[in-house]
Amino acid sequence: MRERYGDDTLTHPEFDSDLWMEVGSSGGPDKNQVYGLSNTTVDNFRSACSVSTVGSSQSKEFMALQQHTAQLTEKYNHLSAEYARLKASQAQQRAESEQQKAACEQLCEMVMNMATQSRTCAPNPL
């Protein structure tokens, strides 16, 4: 491990399957036998490691997708709440506008009535 990764053991990976197979199969009476795993051969072990690596990278991708989905869900919920707030505000503004329109119509009607009354109440100059 030191030859490959240097003297600082903090930078070493927990497990290097290629190095382990290289050292495990380099000597001894059973060439290509990986010692420490019963009857596992180098080729079988490489197959298992590649499947494990693929599974690990897929797991990382899955975790990243889950995190991204959670972020998008949070944004969606925030935007949905903001939309509901804006929709309620718009409805309130419409209601206030309708009230102002009705008040304006009442005021116009009162002015018209006052104008009509002032004509009927005015003395006849004849």
State the pLDDT at residue 61. 86
State the pLDDT at residue 54. 47
State the pLDDT at residue 83. 97
Phi/psi region, residue 43 (left: phi>0; alpha: psi -120 to 50; beta: rest), is alpha
Tokens of 53: 């690596």
State the pTM of this model: 0.41
pLDDT along the chain (126 residues), means of 10: 80 75 60 50 56 60 92 96 96 96 95 83 59
CB 16 within 8 Å of CB 1? yes
State the pLDDT at residue 60. 83
Tokens of 46: 């490489």
State the pLDDT at residue 97. 96
Helix (H) or strand (E) holding 72: helix 42-121
